[in-house]
Amino acid sequence: MRVLVSGSHGFVASALMPTLEAQGHTVGRIARDGERLDLSGLTEADAVVHLAGAGIGDSRWTPERKKLVVDSRVGPTAQLAEALTKHGPRILVSGSAIGYYGDRGDEELTEESGPGDQFLSEICQKWEAATAPAEQAGVRVVHIRSGLVLSPRGGMLKPLLTPFKLGLGGRLGTGRQYWSWVTLEDEVGAIIHALTHDEVAGPLNATAPNPVTQEEFAKTLGRVLHRPTFLPTPKFAVAARLGKEAAEEMTLAGQRVLPAKLQATGYDFEYPELEPAFQAILT
């Protein structure tokens, strides 16, 4: 299969591309010029993995930053979807996130669950809706609703490692909010599963089958690193660093997300449990 990847220099794509090549697929990059994608290679491709978009947690959520985050996803996705109505690939695996579901407490969420009403949910809904022209043209579209992707090389885990290694880690806020996580290896595996299984379409939760509360996450990370986790970070301290809205939605809100469709279509997780996952990627 010849697969084109957008956002090819990003955290997930940088792991995805060599894995695809190791499995015998031919991989190409979709370059980006501002808000436009270079789609000249579409006619020769079998599938597209679309992962481009400005980093959601890279800076405070000013009105300008929020607009950039939305526009960097919706505009290029709409451009790609329109191009797919005319050219080549009949498979599109497009990025999304479990932020789609909003802050849902301990409710168990599957792909059948409805959206939330916060900013992250708004982003994901618009992002997914932008693929509509491709779907209407018969392209098999999969929306990868990614959880917290774990790797010491990037994502949300990398900035946590220094304070935890110093013994300064602990719960955030109440710690009762659920963090639905997935290792980078299984995130890549879920994307490849979506590419290679024709029965997979629509939303696909890329999360491990055992989400944990943030307090359990912190304790498990401390245990693997052999460090204490006695120092909680109160809400106001998180808000001081990220801004109130970003803090609430990115770290203090929670989603208890289950990978119902991945499991139903036979995906075998390499790391279904958190502690063995930490042991594998950190020791």
Q: What is the pLDDT of residue 233?
A: 76
State the pLDDT at residue 32.
Answer: 82
Backbone angle region of 137, left / alpha / beta, with phi > 0 → left and psi within -120 to 50 → alpha: alpha
Residue 221 CA to residue 278 CA, distance in Å, equals 7
Say which residues have a Cβ less than 8 Å from residue 64's Cβ, sequence separation at least 6.
none
Q: How far apart are CA 131 and CA 95, in angstroms?
A: 11
Here the tokens at position 207 are 């999360």
CA–CA dist 223, 282 (Å, integer): 12
Position 73 scores a pLDDT of 93
d(CA 29, CA 50): 10
In order of their start, the domains of the chain are 2-149+181-207+257-270 (3.40.50.720)
Q: What is the pLDDT of residue 11?
A: 92
CA separation for the pair 205, 208 (Å, rounded): 9
Count how many residues are written for the chain.
283
Q: Minimal CA–CA distance to 188: which of 26, 10, 17, 6? A: 17
Q: What's the gap between Cα 186 and its chain centre?
A: 11
Tell which residue, 182, 193, 175, has the closest CA to residue 277: 182
Answer whether 251's CB lies under 8 Å from 242's CB.
yes
The whole-angstrom separation of Cα 228 and Cα 65 is 36
Q: Which residue has the tokens 């329109």?
A: 82
pLDDT at 67: 92
Q: Which residues of the chain have pLDDT under 70?
A: 34, 234-242, 247
Distance CA 215, CA 2 (A): 42
Model pTM?
0.95
Determine the pLDDT at residue 282.
96
